[in-house]
Amino acid sequence: MPMMPGKTALLELLKQEGVRIMFGNPGTTELPLMDALAAEHELRYILALQEAPAMGMADGYAQASGQCAVVNLHAAPGLGNAMGMLYDAQKAGSPILVTAGQHEQRFNFTEPLLWADLPTIARPFVKWSEEVRRLADLPRAIHRAVKTALAPPTGPVFLSLPGDILTDSADLDLGAPSRVATGIRGDSSAIGRAAAIIAKARSPVIVAGDAVPQGNALLELVALAEAMGAPVYDEGMASRAMFPSSHPLYRGALVRLPEAINGVLAQHDLLVSIGGDLFTLSLPGEIESIPEGYPVVHLDTDPWELAKNYPEQVSILGEPKVTLLELTAAVLKARSTAETEAAVKRLAHAKAEGLASLRKLHAMADAVSERHPIHPLALMQTIGRLLPDDAVVIDETVSSGTGLRRFLKSDDAQSFYGLRGGGIGWGLPAAIGVKLALPDRPVVALIGDGSAMYTIQGLWTAANQNLRMVFVIINNYSYRILKQRTNAMKGLAAQADNYVAMDLDKPRVDFVSVARGLGLQAHKATTLSDLGDLLQQALAADGPTLIDVEVDRSWKPV
């Protein structure tokens, strides 16, 4: 066993685990690590100017690469700064090793400046949280952390690293990485029961979730949907491309309101969830999302999500890619001749409905395409038409993104990433992480103006790394979604038409100047024609570009 300091051992352990990029914002408690990085040539440190964008970058990188990302934070304030983005990472199931520097242990009983019980702070938002208290335990801690982050259901983990663990030296056995096999095939008897229920359904519907793209099972889900003749909806908080957007069975995302979900289900007689949560809502309602007694079949990689809120006829723990093959075959085998003929007719009808609804959406966008300022629906249509087929879109449009996924050509598991957790500010730094994971694909981030200001420092990192990517700011000079929901309350604000602290126009944020000040090329678009020209230039530019698009500020229901 070689004698080595903890700081060197840490880097060697991370490289054993396949880590080649570390995100962070260093402080005094991270100086031993930064010292070790001075002699390191294989591991790349990506500097963010604050911990929230550092965490968002790690989240985007983890989702797009499928590897365990690593982010290093600075003591208690740094971990605190990152907590909102850590919440989003937890909801997205992003495998991230979150580390934070801690004071030397001999010093901590005095409760020095910046000290806190870091594992306790992180614990609600991670799968496992611990502090390394002996250098001899560092190899076991790193290997356990990465194994746990990548084991299904994936998610972030946390380690607190006291200064003396990094500065002390010892004879260390670095051990070796381990992985939990992820190809979990669902229980055969449960698959058989599910197939029997699906075979007899006259009008089934599918809700797809993140487990599908995480396991690269889009084609397997297409096969099941076509066998069922069922339309496919994204779960309400969709962070990935769950189903090919060009497929005529695709219907987009469910609205996160119980009345809307109930209305969709009322048109069908069976709900089949493939990795979709049932249901994450934005607001409560007067009725339940799923009617009492409604039949549900649910396949997921996370046992917690199965039958979490509603009873299910069949709940299957398994990986979609392997389990869907068996389920689809079982459905085809379980059908009678009449049921098979009905499914064929149902498939043709569902495809025709999908094409008709897409034509209607395009017609609605065409009808507002001449408006000034730009109407958000026309903007989404234009972006969908302009982007190349291999583009990767990061979506934090919040209230302006209606129709986006149906307009986009997002047919593979890495083509789309959205805000899963709901904590805004995620999209801008996440796009940087995605670009670092997918350097050969065009990456375009669509970010609301309010969201952008939460993590605007991230633009500096994009410039610092000279990343060829595009940030499109959807700018309505307001917190539009808050106005919509406050108005829906029909309370004092609606009566007085006075929405406090929801406008961002006194003064208006000059995103072009901010972006240029952080090292980007930046431009303003006020027409769809402007946007088209600027977007084409930005996609070909050698480095990052920001385009500030002024959109219609209207928000009240017509």
Tell me the pLDDT tens digit for each residue of 335-357: 999 999 999 999 999 999 999 99
* CATH number for the domain that contains residue 102: 3.40.50.970
Amino acid at 294: Y
pLDDT at 1: 60
CB within 8 A of 370, min separation 6: which ones?
Answer: none
- The runs of H, that is alpha helices, within 126-174 are 138-150, 163-167
Q: Is the residue at 180 inside a domain?
A: no
Q: Is the residue at 179 inside a domain?
A: no
- Does residue 485 sit in the same domain as residue 385? yes
The C-alpha angle 223, 391, 54, rounded to 5 degrees, equals: 105
Range of the domain at 412: 368-550
Radius of gyration, CA atoms only, the chain: 25
How far is Cα 558 from Cα 555, in angstroms, rounded to an integer? 9
- The runs of H, that is alpha helices, within 368-453 are 376-386, 404-407, 427-437, 449-452
pTM recorded for the entire structure? 0.96
Q: Is the residue at 555 inside a domain?
A: no
- Does residue 113 sit in the same domain as residue 202? no
- Does residue 485 sit in the same domain as residue 423? yes
Question: Which of 323, 351, 379 finishes a domain?
Answer: 351
- Does residue 242 sit in the same domain as residue 276? yes
- Does residue 286 sit in the same domain as residue 398? no
DSSP 10-48: HHHHHHHTT--EEEE---GGGHHHHHHHTT-SSSEEEE-
How many domains is the chain partitioned into structurally?
A: 3
Q: Is the residue at 357 inside a domain?
A: no
How far is Cα 192 from Cα 198, in angstroms, rounded to an integer? 10
pLDDT at 372: 92
Q: Do residues 1 and 171 lie in contact, with contact meaning Cβ atoms separated by under 8 Å? A: yes
Q: Is the residue at 545 inside a domain?
A: yes
Question: Which of 319, 351, 383 finishes a domain?
Answer: 351
Q: Is the residue at 558 inside a domain?
A: no
- Does residue 133 sit in the same domain as residue 257? no
- Taking alpha carbons only, the member of 382, 440, 433, 389 closest to residue 410 is 389
Q: Which two tokens stand for residue 309?
A: 């809120």
Q: Containing H/E element for 69?
A: strand 69-74
- For residue 212, count other CB atoms closer than 10 A to its CB: 28
According to DSSP, residue 508 is labeled B
* CATH number for the domain that contains residue 227: 3.40.50.1220
How far is Cα 189 from Cα 158, in angstroms, rounded to an integer? 38
Q: Do residues 271 and 208 lie in contact, with contact meaning Cβ atoms separated by under 8 Å? A: no
- Does residue 11 sit in the same domain as residue 93? yes
CA of 427: how far to CAs of 57, 228, 272, 449, 459, in Å?
Answer: 9, 35, 30, 11, 12
Q: Is the residue at 387 inside a domain?
A: yes
pLDDT at 554: 85
pLDDT at 558: 58
- Does residue 382 sit in the same domain as residue 298? no
How far is Cα 289 from Cα 310, in angstroms, rounded to an integer? 9
**In which residue ranges of the chain is pLDDT below 50?**
none
How far is Cα 118 from Cα 74, in angstroms, rounded to an integer? 11
Burial class (CB within 10 angstroms; exposed 0-12, middle 13-18, buried 19+) of 174:
middle
- Does residue 59 sit in the same domain as residue 155? yes
Question: Which of 119, 141, 171 finishes a domain?
Answer: 171
For 468-489, give one letter per residue: b (16+ CB within 10 A) or e: bbbbbbbbbbbbbbbbeebbee
Q: Is the residue at 314 inside a domain?
A: yes
CB within 8 A of 437, min separation 6: which ones?
Answer: 60, 61, 64, 65, 67
Rounded to a whole number, what is the distance in angstroms from the first to the last CA of the chain? 72
According to DSSP, residue 519 is labeled T
pLDDT at 439: 98
- Taking alpha carbons only, the member of 385, 374, 378, 349 closest to residue 361 is 378
How far is Cα 475 from Cα 548, in angstroms, rounded to an integer? 7
- Does residue 393 sit in the same domain as residue 320? no
- Does residue 394 sit in the same domain as residue 246? no
Burial class (CB within 10 angstroms; exposed 0-12, middle 13-18, buried 19+) of 251:
buried
DSSP 202-222: SSEEEEE-THHHHTT-HHHHH
